Amino acid sequence: MPAGKLVAAGLQHVAAMYAGVVAPPLVVGTAVGLSVTELTFLMGASLFTAGIATLLQTLGIWKIGAKLPFVNGVTFAGVAPMLAIVNSEGPEDALPVIFGSVMVAGALGFLIAPYFSKLVRFFPPVVTGTVITLIGLSLLPVAFNWAQGGDASASDHGSVKNIAMAGATLVIVLLLRRFTGGFMKQIAVLLGLVVGTLIAIPVGITDFGALGEADVVGFPSPFHFGAPQFAAAAILSMCIVMIVSMTESTADMLALGEIVDRPADEKTIAAGLRADTLGSFVSPFFNGFTCSAFAQNIGLVAMTRVRSRFVVATGGGILILMGLCPVAAALIATVPLPVLGGAGVVLFGSVAASGIQTLVRARLDQDNNVMVVAVSLAVGIIPITAEGFYHSFPESARIVLDSGISTGCIAAIVLNFLFNHLGGGRDGEPTASATEVTATADSGSRKEPAQPHVPHPHGEHPLPHPDQKGAPAASG
């Protein structure tokens, strides 16, 4: 794309994921007791390292990087274990211990990535569709919380003013998507955020205070908070976080592969996981945390249909510049959370819709597949609809159980193996591969002839043969 369009589309990705990147360092930094200046530094470091990880993922080097339009940033899955480390190690040593444990977890993840990627053979459409749907459903509560104001302790949380601003932004995005075309339609979310922020100024929910305090230039100096320290318990907890992140990243890569009509095979997933884990290993050098895929940006790709990885790579470059220029980061931060929440409804709903599109190809006329989808969705929705459901379980177990994406993904894999692989399945039918199912046309009503089955050289494989084109993408 031309330079101007690249920057605009890349900035749209940054705006969609900014709040998710700065939230974990904000929570952890506050728990450690950092000053406002140090807290700003920690958030800038997270933006800088997210940019590095995104460039690794999109552009790739050697066998590192999925080379898909994939945004990486700080995973929220590590917040609870990091807060536990703060409580056990004390505020003074907490950050060095956290950085040391993230480095070890990143190195371990990098080594096991090629083996972990072999799980892809257990991801036929009935599993991928379920997981993609759960990703969207898991993100929607985030958008609803943003729409309320983001801070449950604030006096105006859930106020009519906040929700009205979210609704107005949603309407603006929808109108732009409906009545504009070309590039204007593709950057409807960015335009909606800009217009929504301008409307929010007279409403009184836009805060420009951070702009006055931010420095023009700043660099996240290596090991700013001290040399990394290594504690066995902290390392173990962050290794568990890494496994959870790798599971979610695998699901995200499969989701994005479906959306961009380039199914993610074992090689792609291994390369993507290497980028995630290498980014996590490098991140602590610059005072950052565990890096993982950002599912909210998958919704942006699904909605805009802009599939270029160079657009997202441009977003990674913008993230690096924001890490080096705190005032630029502060400018993005002026977007009120209710405005971001209104746009988030469209983004995250688009992910769920993509999952449903994949489930259309999953042969739900078979009882076995219906059971896989039904139970997996129910298990994955538990943390979303029944918060605190697992409160009696150990903290280490809750790292996995409190993630609907992780629990739903594990349930779908296990149930698919039980019903469709083990003993040929109860009905005696093997798992349907993605090449055997009937592809759905863009309109959703006309059906194409089923693709011929192509045996995989290493046995049955649930994804399309590399020489075959995947199912057509929705027209939007």
CA distances (Å), 447 to each of 35, 206, 238, 422, in order? 60, 49, 46, 31
What was the pLDDT predicted at 210? 64
Q: Which residue has the tokens 């994804």?
A: 463
Give this prediction's pTM: 0.65
C-alpha separations of 264 from 1, 178, 243, 251 in Å:
24, 31, 19, 10
Extents of the domains making up the chain? 3-416
To 10 degrees, what angle do helices 3-32 and 91-116 make?
130
Cβ neighbours of residue 242 under 8 Å, at least 6 residues apart? 105, 106, 108, 109, 277, 280, 290
**pLDDT at residue number 452:** 41
pLDDT at position 456: 42
Cα gap 352→381, rounded to integer Å: 13
Collapsing DSSP to helix, strand or coil, 216 comes out as: coil
Mention every residue, 6+ apart, whose C-beta is less than 8 A from residue 240.
81, 396, 399, 400
Helix (H, G, I), strand (E, B) or coil at 61: strand
| Cα dihedral sign, 144-294-320-96 | positive
Are the CB atoms for 303 and 347 separated by under 8 Å? yes
pLDDT tens, per residue, the chain with 476 residues: 888 888 888 888 887 777 678 778 877 887 788 776 777 788 888 889 999 999 999 998 888 988 888 888 887 767 767 877 887 777 778 899 999 999 999 999 999 999 888 877 777 888 878 887 887 788 788 789 889 987 788 888 889 999 999 999 999 989 988 888 777 887 788 888 889 989 998 888 887 766 666 667 777 788 888 889 888 878 887 887 788 788 778 888 888 888 888 888 889 899 999 999 999 999 999 988 988 888 778 878 887 788 888 999 999 999 998 888 877 767 766 788 898 888 888 877 877 887 888 788 788 888 889 999 999 999 989 988 888 898 898 876 776 787 787 788 889 889 998 998 776 554 434 433 333 333 333 333 333 444 444 444 334 334 443 344 444 344 33
Contacts with 60 (C-beta within 8 Å, 6 or more apart), sequence order: 66, 67, 271, 275
| pLDDT at site 118 | 84
Distances from the Cα of 204 to the Cα of 146, 298, 342, angstroms: 16, 31, 17
